[in-house]
Amino acid sequence: LSGDQISTESIIINKKTYTPAIVDRNYELLNQKFPYIIENGGNHPSKLSKYQLNKIKKLKSNIAKILNINNGVLKGDLILTPKGLFVIEVATRLSGGDFSESLMKYGLGINYVKTVFDLAVNNTSTISDFRKKTFKHVRNRYFFPKPGKLIKIIGAKKVLKQNFIKKFEIWYKVGDIIPEIINHSKRAGVFVVEANSFIDAEKKVKWVYENIKFIVKK
C-alpha cells in the first residue's frame, strides 16, 4: 500500500476512547536505505486535514470496541491511501520511538506515560487528563553516520545549549565501530526539537544535522 503512514495514541476509559495524539511517520530515507525499511522519527502535529483526523479517531474507537477494551491504551499504526484508511497494526501498549514519551510531552504538554501508569494501577484518570495543555510543533530525528570507527563527534555542546533541544542522545562513544545502519537498533542517536510552526521545526532539524558531525575512519 502506498500512502502517508501515521502513528496514533489512544486511551480508553470506561469504554470511551480518546485519541490525543496523531503524528506523521517520517520515511524520507527509504530510497537511500533500500532494501531496508528505516524510519527517521515523526512529526507532530500531523499534516492531515481535520476531516481525515476525525476519520482516524473514529476508526480507533471502533477498533477498541471490536477488541472489547473497556480501559487501557491502544497504539495504532495506519496508512492513508487514495483508496482509504488501512490498519498496519494495533497493540495494547504505548508507542516507542519517542512518540508517547517525548512528542506528546513537548507537543501537547501531556505526561502521557505517567497518566497511563496511573490508570493501570487504578488511580483516578479522566479523559480531561489527556486534553492538550499546550501546542507545539515537535520533531524527533535520528543520526545515520557512515560505518567505521568513531573518531570524534563535533558540535554536541553547541547543540545542547539550544533551548529548543528537548532530547539529545548519542548511542556510540569514541572508539566504537559504527556498523552499516540496516535496522532501527543500529541508529547512532536521537534528538527532539520544539518549535512554534511547521517551517520553524523543519529549520531546527536541518540546523542540528548541519552542526553535528561524526568523524568516522573506515
103-126 confidence digits (pLDDT tens): 999 999 988 888 888 888 876 666
**CA distances from residue 55 to 81, 116, 186, 211 in whole angstroms, order as listed:** 13, 24, 35, 40
Q: pLDDT for 29-78, tens place per residue? A: 999 999 999 999 999 999 999 999 999 999 999 999 999 999 889 999 99
Tell me the pTM: 0.91
Q: Cα(108)–Cα(87) distance, rounded to whole angstroms?
A: 25
